[in-house]
Amino acid sequence: MKEAKRMSQGIWRPSPGTVYYLLKKLKKDESIVEVLTGDELEKAYVITEKGKKVLEELRVELKRELKKQAILLSLMMELVGMEDRIEAFRKMVSA
């Protein structure tokens, strides 16, 4: 939960219920497995090969969707007269 908050710069603060629900779902889908840590109170998880495949598919889809959104945003910038920023934006999203 702390890592999600840190990585999202405080925008997403998942509740314990959200995290445990996701962990349960990922375990059921065999995308992660629970591993021993040596501490009874602490649990750790490792992504499986199946989980890596699903994650890569999600990355590809997300990249495709973000590219669509970037194109739309670029068009909107052009419509509202932000031509000076469009080229820089296009270079940024094509990287």
Question: Domain segments of the chain: what residues?
Answer: 1-47, 49-95
Identify the H or E element spanning 35: strand 32-35
pLDDT tens-digit profile of 27-57?
A: 999 999 999 888 888 889 999 999 999 999 9
What is the per-residue pLDDT for 95? Answer: 62
Q: What is the model's pTM?
A: 0.66
Could you give the residue ranges of the DSSP H alpha helices within 11-82? 16-28, 49-79
